[in-house]
Structure 1
Amino acid sequence: MKNYNHFIISVLTLMLFISCQDDDNQFGAIEAPSNLQIEHTIVNADAENEFGDGSGMVNFTATADNAINYKFLFGDSNVENQTNGSASHAYALTGVNTYTVTVIASGVGGTTSSATSEVTVLSLFSDQRTKDLLTGGEGQSKTWYVAKEESGHLGVGPLDSATPDFFAAPANGLADCFYDEQITIADTGESALSFNHDNGGVTFFNAAFNSVGGGGGPDDQCLPFDVSGEKSLTLSSANSTLPSDLTVGTQLNISDDGFFSYYINTSSYEVLDIGEDYLFLRALSGQANPLAWYLKFTTNPDGSIGDSNSNELQTEYTDEVFSEEFDVNGAPDPNIWNLEIGNGDNGWGNEELQYYTEDNVIVEDGFLKITAKREQTNGFDFSSTRMTTLDKFDFEYGRIEVRAKLPEGGGTWPAIWMLGSNFPEVGWPETGEIDIMEHKGNDPGVVYGSLHFPGNSGGNAVSETTTVQSVSEEFNNYTVEWSADRILFAVNDEVYHEFTNTSSTPFNNPFFLILNVAMGGTFGGDVDPAFTESTMEVDYIRVYQ
């Protein structure tokens, strides 16, 4: 545990030293900041939209002579500290409202000066879903705990990344005081939510800010710090730099210098993802050279996400972004699907025995049907179909669910899988491969979920299996839940394989979908001499983010 804590301390102490070393050479005369000026720009305000675009977003700039820090009091109980005098704030109160903004400029020796300014801005922001998930709904409350059982429950990375590339904490790898925290968020019927933070009187401090808790050296992390008292939490539009598929787009703003468990001198947090029992936040530390911090929370007091006594999939993703229901008879939709023809290079690199055609697939009666047949086709003994969504549909992170009934017969090798969309440029296995479902007709009922990537490809893939009854007689749901932190494989919502994803794997880019039924090969094995034909049927494919 100490090694991980010291890693964070070392990184942040170095950055703190770099940012402050020039100031420490000499203090000079102690003078209060003077000539304090406040300017603001309402985002997307113009002649037709005097008060902005409805996001409530305003950019502020404060300047003063002899100032080393600026404290912004935005007039809605939210506060932010900035050393460079620049701050952005999203106002949440619906309608056109006027706020009195106060800036306190601090100089050496603790001297201060202040100034005020008014800003009138329009906010039309609303995110009832996030509000309800935070609290359980009107009149309800939820208590949130640090998700200590999850890797990356605290992480840090650069501003231009969406992942904790510098450090991601392993499960239970940090100071105990961090794990004693609990935060209760309640919906009392007011526009702002109630925010109560119980830290047992001790807070886990970022090393750059431990002086706030009265600490001395960089090793002082768990420090006495009073966070008692009810605060308010408002939701506003996030001034996000992340792609829209990696963020909810909502920012949480806590009044009176409140914060989520780890002190990094900010009260504003962007919601990257949220579910019934899962909250994933990103925040920028309030220092001259800010970093992006990531925090995970859960409603389970033991720090796990989902039911720790069950393998049932607890999804993080609920918004459907893609659906292929196969409800139009005929050939597969050419706007979604490519049909690959031939036997590839050495049977697609696997010594497969079939030749892929356009004639072995049809959409009929609400189902996609791929049929493998024993027939002479272009010099091969078997025919089948392989279809992809390359350059037509891909996605990065989310839940993909495919409801399918599998073919039967020794030698059949049906697969529902994905490759990285950069496959044409980088090749395999560098692109990464996610096998949502693979099945051997020679081993009926055993379903495989596998990952291929450099160092773990071919026969050395990271793979697990589960037994499913009647795979060729009944439809089953084959699911992959994929995030920057983990990849889960499930059948009928029962998780059987969990992989810890990191920034070093290729599973942090868009992937496209592949459906096929192969024959024989290195995985399918010997073909039953009695085999004539068999079909994989797909009811639907749905993607949620």
Structure 2
Amino acid sequence: MKKHLYKAIAFCVMALAVTSCSSSDSSNGTPSDPNQDLINKLSGGSSRTWYWAAGETGHIGYGENSANNGINYYGNIDQAAPFEFANNPQTGCLYDNTLTFDLQNGQLRLTVNNSGSTLFNGGYVVSHGGTGTTDSCLPYTATGPKAVTLGDSDSYVTQSGVAGRTTGKALTIADGGFMGYFAGQSTYEILSLTNTRMTVRAVIGNDPSKAVYHTFTTTQPTPPASENFTNLVWSEEFNTPGAPDPTKWSYNTGAGGWGNNEQQYYTNSAENVVVADGKLVITAKKQTLNGSPYTSARLVSDGKFNFKYGRAVIRAKLPVGGGTWPAIWMLGQNYATAAWPSCGEIDIMEHVGNQQNRIFGTLHYPGHSGGNANGGSQVIPNVSSEFHEYSVIWNTDVIKIFADNTLIHSVANDPSLPFDHNFFFILNVAMGGNFGGNIDPNFTQSSMEIDYIRVYQ
């Protein structure tokens, strides 16, 4: 995830009490505190619990903190898809958080129950005992309750004066408190607040050029049933030595660049594809065949196995060498009548030897294909020396691609995209091409090994 910001916010605060700078109006009995309506909505008048609005797009968002009125009031850089952080040990702790605002002797307080784990912004992971720069769940006990004070906001959003974008108020949590996602910030501008829904904005503590957005609700959201794929419906364990199982796999063979100026000739030879020692082995070799300088293999489950929605998990070890381009991906089974990219393509794993250890997860569809595809990447150590699990969670609402427990990319799914029909698997190792790049002249051969493929629904 990204880091985020915010400008200084001025408050009119009295110690251990939520107050304003206005005098009371005793003539008509109205509250003297102009923040009283906010206090009542936050606390429900006594105590109110809030949950992450995980079912909404943008329940966490990231955007620029600047004077640009056109973009500074929402997550213009990134918005989380519904339940994007679920089913991922690296980020899933976020949804275990609850926030309870209560009133105690006139003092507004906040208690965060995080079950002992907090999602830390990538810029703070190392300083709190983790590694890397990716948002991560780390052990952390959020103590409470903590006093909360309310005051006027002086953010860029407030300064813009555009109606409906902010309440113009902000809350500050005492003693370094925060609202469930640690970003080095204790002050949050309240953009909108009702009795059941709240959106706040805060500047990332170590990057004042960016802002983070949180949306909460008083009703705990429930993940779609299709998020919990646990029923194994198909698997390939590669336990029978020899050629791949013909009831599950066939071959794409030949040369022609495969649409990407690739250099290999695909064969069905055991030199290029074989099942041995409980693994499928696809080997790219420096070997001239029919005018192509390299040979390799490409297996497809086209017409033998396909599925719509589920969780696919593939355990694999990848080849090494400049120019190698292994891929584990899926193509719409309707490709014969809906020509690519209209049929849709889900790249669960791509790796190129010229960017060793960087794993790519990508979707191709009309308007987003080829070099303009919708994808992301993460560095995963030792992908060519160790086995890792590459997986996709795919349902009506979202497509999420993982390497082990690291989210590589997530895209909100909807009926306008071609991901509502059956897809089949493709396993291959290409050489060179538009994405594979220059081939190391010293390359002789290297293999992708796949231990298993499992599909759950």
Shorter-normalised TM range: 0.5 to 0.7
Alpha carbons 1:338, 1:390 under 8 Å: kept: yes
Which residue number in structure 1 is paired with residue 381 of structure 2?
A: 469
Which residue number in structure 2 is paired with residue 507 of structure 1?
A: 419
Structure 1 171/327 Cα, relative in aligned 2: closer, same or farther at 3 Å? Answer: closer
More RCO (CA 8 Å, sep 6+): 2
| Deviation, structure 1 residue 426 | 1.3
Residue 523 of structure 1 aligns to a residue whose secondary structure is helix
Of the three residues 424, 442, 450, the one matched with 1:530 is 442
Residue 150 of structure 1 aligns to a residue whose secondary structure is coil
Which residue number in structure 1 is paired with residue 258 of structure 2?
A: 348
Structure 1 299/393 Cα, relative in aligned 2: closer, same or farther at 3 Å? Answer: farther
RMSD: 2.9
Alpha carbons 2:322, 2:354 under 8 Å: kept: yes
Alpha carbons 1:315, 1:481 under 8 Å: kept: yes
- Residues 1:357 and 2:267 aligned together: yes
What does 1:262-411 align with in structure 2 at a 5 Å threshold? 303=221, 316-344=228-256, 347-359=257-269, 360-411=272-323
Structure 1 511/146 Cα, relative in aligned 2: closer, same or farther at 3 Å? Answer: farther
Partner amino acid, structure 2, of 1:149 = A
When normalised by structure 1's length, the TM-score is: 0.44
Of the three residues 439, 443, 455, the one matched with 2:355 is 443
| Deviation, structure 1 residue 305 | 5.2
| Deviation, structure 1 residue 149 | 2.6
Q: Which structure has the greater CA radius of gyration? A: 1
Alpha carbons 1:397, 1:482 under 8 Å: kept: yes
Alpha carbons 1:479, 1:493 under 8 Å: kept: no
Which residue number in structure 2 is paired with residue 542 of structure 1?
A: 454
Structure 1 171/392 Cα, relative in aligned 2: closer, same or farther at 3 Å? Answer: closer
Which residue number in structure 2 is paired with residue 18 of structure 1?
A: none
Structure 1 171/339 Cα, relative in aligned 2: closer, same or farther at 3 Å? Answer: closer
Partner amino acid, structure 1, of 2:300 = T
Structure 1 490/362 Cα, relative in aligned 2: closer, same or farther at 3 Å? Answer: same
Of the three residues 320, 325, 329, the one matched with 1:413 is 325
| Deviation, structure 1 residue 152 | 8.4
Partner amino acid, structure 1, of 2:406 = E
Distance across 2 between alignment mates of 1:438 and 1:145: 40
Structure 1 299/468 Cα, relative in aligned 2: closer, same or farther at 3 Å? Answer: farther
Partner amino acid, structure 2, of 1:369 = V
Of the three residues 121, 141, 150, the one matched with 2:55 is 150
Identity within the alignment, %: 49
What does 1:141-220 align with in structure 2 at a 5 Å threshold? 148-151=53-56
Partner amino acid, structure 2, of 1:530 = N
| Deviation, structure 1 residue 171 | 6.9
Partner amino acid, structure 2, of 1:421 = Q
Alpha carbons 1:151, 1:485 under 8 Å: kept: no
What does 1:88-99 align with in structure 2 at a 5 Å threshold? none
Distance across 2 between alignment mates of 1:493 and 1:542: 16
Distance across 2 between alignment mates of 1:504 and 1:394: 21
Partner amino acid, structure 2, of 1:410 = G
| Deviation, structure 1 residue 535 | 0.3
1:441-482 per-residue CA deviation (whole Å, 9 max, x = no partner) reads: 000000000000000000000010011111000000000000
Distance across 2 between alignment mates of 1:518 and 1:503: 32
- Residues 1:517 and 2:398 aligned together: no
Distance across 2 between alignment mates of 1:333 and 1:377: 25
Alpha carbons 1:369, 1:538 under 8 Å: kept: yes
Distance across 2 between alignment mates of 1:447 and 1:393: 26
When normalised by structure 2's length, the TM-score is: 0.52
Residue correspondences, number: 254
1:214-248 per-residue CA deviation (whole Å, 9 max, x = no partner) reads: xxxxxxxxxxxxxxxxxxxxxxxxxxxxxxxxxxx
| Deviation, structure 1 residue 147 | 7.8
